């Protein structure tokens, strides 16, 4: 049946086109699509997803085309929270197309313009979601206003993790690149004798989630931001992916059957990665062994973060269970 349909499709292609050309005037050429935020376009998420594609899905199938769209959803943070794992897991979904590398558009490359940004995106068919992830957006003061200017309907995802563990992981990553940096303990304090925490150190500052979230809530309602637990992304990846798929309006295709737990690395891996039939784990830069940190310093950090964590729980309506 399929072969018969294909034969009829190709047989008709030339003759039907000729009949159309002789029998009716050519349709007017469509105007090029406007970028969200340009005059004349409403840029809500629903309207972006409902906008017509460059061609029908069947024509896109035959000519390999699609349309490059600005992202309807962005993973905005946080660094060392599990954003790479979340993106790789999401890319298994047939209705998610994502940029592999971090574009850093809203923090480092904004002057290049939306057309440059859109050109980085993969082509998508009607009904597919375009995504990107750049964890530094969450702590970039200008990012909320800039993303809102692109589209007020953009859905935002934040992967958060115990801020103390996150800070140690952040330090571990830096240590792997610069082995001669000072110790974690010495960088943590402005004055260790008084116990004053150095909040200017980015490894500490990123984990004050409530402070950063306040900036985002000036531009986006809380219902438009999904907070993913970095801990649960490890212990129950399918459960967290279920929440993410629901948030994005996607069918729950990614389930338990897609994961297996890698005991050596200490986190879940995909049984089959996007476009592959082989198992896939994140690279060697993920799951590094953390250095031993003075437990007194760890406790002081936990005491420091506690009030910020409590406020974050109140703001999000979620208790992440960080001690």
The tens digit of pLDDT for each residue in 244-289 reads 999 999 999 999 999 988 877 777 999 876 666 667 787 655 556 8
| Residue 178 designated active-site | no
Mean residue pLDDT across the chain: 83
Domain assignment present for residue 48? The answer is: no
Burial class (CB in 10 A: 0-12, 13-18, 19+), 182: exposed
126: domain CATH number is: 3.40.50.300
**Total number of domains in the chain:** 1
Say if residue 84 carries a ligand binding annotation: yes
pLDDT at 22 > cutoff 70: no
Domain assignment present for residue 223? The answer is: yes
Say if residue 29 carries a ligand binding annotation: no
Tokens of 138: 């969450």
Domain assignment present for residue 301? The answer is: no
Domain assignment present for residue 181? The answer is: no
Average pLDDT over every residue of 54-78: 71
Domain assignment present for residue 84? The answer is: yes
- pLDDT band, very low/low/confident/very high, at 193 (cuts 50, 70, 90): confident
pLDDT at 50 > cutoff 70: no
| Helix ranges, the chain (H) | 2-23, 45-50, 57-63, 83-90, 114-120, 143-150, 163-177, 184-188, 202-205, 209-216, 230-235, 237-247, 295-316
Say if residue 123 carries a ligand binding annotation: no
- The residue from 68, 79, 80, 272 that is catalytic is 80
Tokens of 222: 């809380």
Domain assignment present for residue 240? The answer is: yes
Tell if the pTM clears 0.85, that is, is over it.
no
CA separation (Å) from 207 to 81, 166, 168, 222, 301?
10, 7, 11, 19, 11
Say if residue 130 carries a ligand binding annotation: no
Q: What is the pLDDT of residues 100-142, one digit of tens each?
A: 899 999 999 999 999 999 999 999 999 999 999 999 999 999 9
pLDDT at 232 > cutoff 80: yes
Which DSSP state fits 280? B
Query: Does residue 14 or residue 304 have the better pLDDT?
Result: 304
Domain assignment present for residue 222? The answer is: yes
C-beta separation of 176 from 322 below 8 A: no
Burial class (CB in 10 A: 0-12, 13-18, 19+), 138: buried
Say if residue 112 carries a ligand binding annotation: no
| Full domain range(s) for residue 116 | 67-163+203-285
Query: Does residue 2 or residue 274 have the better pLDDT?
Result: 274
Please state whether the peptide bond connecting residue 152 to the residue before it is cis, i.e. omega within 30 degrees of 0: no
Say if residue 194 carries a ligand binding annotation: no
Domain assignment present for residue 270? The answer is: yes
Q: Measure the CA–CA gap between 277 and 225, rounded to whole angstroms.
A: 33
């Amino acid at each position: 049946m399929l072969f018969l349909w294909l034969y009829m499709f190709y047989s008709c292609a030339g003759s039907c086109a000729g009949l159309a050309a002789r029998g009716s005037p050519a349709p007017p050429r469509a105007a090029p699509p406007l970028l969200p935020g340009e005059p004349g376009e409403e840029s809500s998420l629903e309207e972006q997803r409902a906008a017509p594609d460059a061609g029908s899905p069947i024509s896109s199938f035959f000519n390999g085309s699609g349309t490059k769209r600005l992202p309807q959803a962005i993973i905005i943070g946080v660094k060392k929270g599990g954003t790479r794992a979340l993106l790789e897991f999401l890319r298994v979904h047939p209705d998610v197309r994502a940029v592999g590398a971090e574009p850093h558009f809203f923090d480092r490359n904004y002057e290049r313009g939306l057309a440059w940004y859109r050109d980085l995106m993969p082509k998508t068919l009607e009904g597919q979601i375009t995504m990107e992830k750049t964890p530094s957006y969450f702590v970039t003061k200008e990012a909320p206003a800039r993303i809102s200017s692109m589209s007020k309907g953009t859905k935002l995802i934040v992967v958060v993790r115990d801020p103390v563990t996150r800070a140690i992981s952040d330090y571990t990553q830096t240590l792997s690149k610069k082995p001669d940096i000072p110790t974690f303990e010495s960088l943590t304090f402005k004055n260790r004798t008084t116990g004053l925490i150095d909040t200017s150190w980015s490894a500490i500052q990123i984990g004050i989630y409530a402070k950063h979230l306040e900036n985002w809530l000036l531009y986006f309602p809380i219902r438009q931001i999904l907070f993913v637990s970095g801990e649960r992304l490890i212990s129950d990846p399918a459960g967290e992916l279920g929440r993410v798929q629901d948030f994005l309006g996607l069918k729950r295709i990614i389930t338990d059957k897609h994961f297996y737990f890698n005991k050596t690395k200490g986190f879940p891996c995909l049984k089959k990665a996007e476009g592959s039939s082989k198992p896939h784990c994140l690279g060697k830069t993920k799951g590094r062994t953390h250095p031993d940190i003075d437990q007194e310093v760890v406790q002081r950090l936990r005491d420091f973060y506690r009030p910020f964590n409590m406020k974050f729980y109140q703001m999000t309506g979620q208790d992440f269970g960080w001690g």
